[in-house]
Amino acid sequence: MKKLVSLIKASMTSGMNVFKINSKASSKRKVLPLFIAFWLMFTIWSNANIILEKLDRVGLEYIALSIFVVGISMFTLIEGIYKSGTLIFNCKDDQLLLSLPIKKSTVLFVRIFKFYVFELIFNSLFLVPVIMAYLRWAKADMFFFLTSFIMILFLPIIPIVVSCIIGAITTGLSSRFKYKNFFQIILTMLIFIGVMYVSMNMDKFLIDLVQNAKGLNDIISKIYYPAGVYADLVVKFDITKLLVFMLINIALLVVGIFVLSKVYFKINTRMKSVVTSRKVKSSKCIEVKVKSQTWALIKKEFSTFFNTPVFIINAGFGLVLYLILAISVFVKFNLIVDTIKSTDIISIDLFLKNLSTYNFLIIILVLLTTSITSSMISLEGRNFNILKSFPVKTEEILKSKLYASLIITIPLVIIGDFLIFIRLQFGILEFLLILLETVIFSILSGLIGLIINLRYPKLDFENSAEIVKQSVSSFVSVAIGLLGVFISFFIISSLIEKGTAPLMIMGVGIGIALILDLVLYLYLMKKGVEQFNKLNV
């Protein structure tokens, strides 16, 4: 037992740095993670109050708990699907742990327990504000607090088990191929697209349930068992039902661990295997190609990017969605028009007159929320000092990271631009402005990510998922991008309603972005270089 406790403690200390505030850190770095957590909780609390206010009028406050439990569990599942690939499989400390005199099943338990603790903390940021909002609108007794406490503890289990099994399937399938990361990325992307498709068409799936269900709580109970149990226990506490709920979750966890134990170590072994080829071409002459320092650094960034599945999925998902949207417009634009006609969100005449402007807005959304460079400095990790020792100017190192992000981003967006241009038949000048926008806003996004990552680096990580998904740098970069999207949407929507010409809107938007690019580039080449030179592992 002591060995297990020590192992869990060591694993949590090394792997949960995202929740650890270093005592030596500056006051700003201590405050920012806490501010982000409290800001998120306040946002959830505010939205819960809006829903509870409406449900309070009909005496159905408990339905809000069911709704949020379903939403939180779905979010945990989606996040866990591709987080499991880095928190469960192919971890850096596998060789160390497996060499210790402990059972392999213990290693798997520690992995899943670590995953559980992360999701428990993550879920609490959402569920605790909902519970607090519920207390404002409804009466609660001691059984409500007991039920809520048990729910907080057991809610992550089902999403974790499901996401681990899906992660094992995708990782296992990808490990059988030569290009393991490529197949893992494709499979994960397909799962994400499938989940999004179901989410977007959820109203169609719910119609049959609504027609056959007695009430909203019956519908939720059929969709997700824990949500229905929570609502039932809040309305009428039943110790037997609560114990059954706990036993079902524990049984699912045990079965999940048992199933994973049958394939976990085989998958892990295959993921670490190296595929070699016996084909060697003999040649009397050996040609040595000499390339520039900058190109060598760019190739290094490509290697990091394409060998980190979670990096590709997180950074490239928005680009893939834009391509899917462009293909949808190219193939079924009339269906999109019919959908807009059936809603009152926007006038169809206004939409058709400003197609290029709305495309302009979508590109801003895609590029400002695609933050590749926000992880590039941190992913150097313990090799950062080696990078600094290269006989290359710091400016060239930073430029190479920016160039790599542009080479990854711009071609994918331009493919979508061409598809939309061919289908919607924009004017040549409008299309050229859209191409120019793609380049300039890609540069803007790259500069923002680099500057933020230099300001909030995280070089002492154990897992790439910590950097790509959980770091302050990634969060702040995306938050700034979303702020830019909201401002752009507000201003451009106002100009569209006033009848401003699309060319004028796009020209002004590109001009502002160009100025921001110049200012941020000068800042990066001066202050960014200084910050880079001060960093040490």
Q: pLDDT tens across 417-446, in order?
A: 999 988 888 889 999 999 999 999 999 999
Average pLDDT over residues 473-478: 86
253/220 same-domain check? yes
In the numeric block, which tokens belong to residue 81? Answer: 């699907």
Q: Cα–Cα distances in Å, from 270 out to 179, 264, 303, 315?
A: 12, 10, 20, 26
For residues 449 and 396, state if they share a domain: yes
Taking the C-alpha atoms of 444, 449, 450 and 454 in order, what is their torsion angle to the nearest 10 degrees? 140
Q: What confidence tens digit (pLDDT) does each residue in 324-368 have?
A: 888 888 888 887 777 777 666 677 788 888 888 999 999 999 999
Burial degree of 481 (CB within 10 A; 0-12, 13-18, 19+): buried
Same domain, 408 and 372: yes
Determine which of 265-279, 342-356, 516-530 has the lowest per-residue pLDDT on average: 265-279
Spatial CB neighbours of 150, under 8 Å, sequence gap ≥ 6? 242, 245, 246
Q: Is the distance from CB of 268 to CB of 94 less than 8 angstroms?
A: yes
In which element (H, E) is residue 365 found?
Answer: helix 355-368
23 domain residue, yes or no: no
Report how far Cα 172 is from the mean position of its chain's Cα atoms.
22
Residue 16 lies in a domain: no
Tell me whether residue 209 is in a domain. Answer: yes
Domain that holds residue 330: 293-534
Specify whether 224 is located in the same domain as 351. no
User: Mean pLDDT, to the nearest integer, of 499-517?
Assistant: 92
CA distance 90 to 94: 7
- DSSP E strands in 47-153: the ranges are none
Q: Are 184 and 174 in contact (CB under 8 A)?
A: yes
Higher pLDDT, 513 or 11: 513
Tokens encoding 512: 């502002």
**Number of domains making up the chain:** 2
Q: From 510, 305, 519, select the one nearest 400 (Cα to Cα).
A: 305
| Any domain includes 11 | no
Contact predicate 69/151, CB 8 Å? yes
User: Is residue 251's pLDDT more than 80?
Assistant: yes
Instruction: For residue 486, give both structure tokens.
Output: 């909201």
Cβ atoms < 10 Å from Cβ of 251: 10
- Only one residue has tokens 């740095």, namely 17
The pLDDT tens digits for 172-228 are 665 554 444 555 555 555 555 555 555 555 555 445 444 444 455 566 666 677 877
In this structure, the answer to whether residues 357 and 461 fall within a common structural domain is yes
Q: Are residues 245 and 305 in the same domain?
A: no
Q: Are residues 400 and 519 in the same domain?
A: yes
**pTM across the whole model:** 0.60
- CA 96 to chain CA mean position, Å: 29
For residues 351 and 231, membership in a common domain is answered with no
Which of residues 224, 240, 272 is at a domain's end?
272
Q: Which of 223, 238, 272 is the last residue of a domain?
A: 272
Does a structural domain hold residue 14?
Answer: no
In a domain, 358, yes or no: yes
pLDDT tens digits, 280-313? 454 445 455 556 778 888 888 888 887 776 777 7
Please check whether residues 247 and 373 belong to one and the same domain: no
Residue where a domain terminates, one of 225, 240, 272: 272
**One domain for residues 128 and 178:** yes
* Closest to 448 (Cα-Cα) out of 520, 398, 370: 520
Q: Are residues 108 and 211 in the same domain?
A: yes
Comparison of pLDDT for 348 and 160, the residue scoring more: 160
- CA dist 115 and 105 (Å) reads 15
Sign of dihedral through CA atoms 24, 25, 27, 31?
A: negative
Q: Is residue 21 part of a domain?
A: no
Distances (CA, A) of 399 to 42, 393, 395, 442: 39, 10, 6, 14
Do 297 and 267 have their domain in common?
A: no
Flag whether 27 is in a domain: no
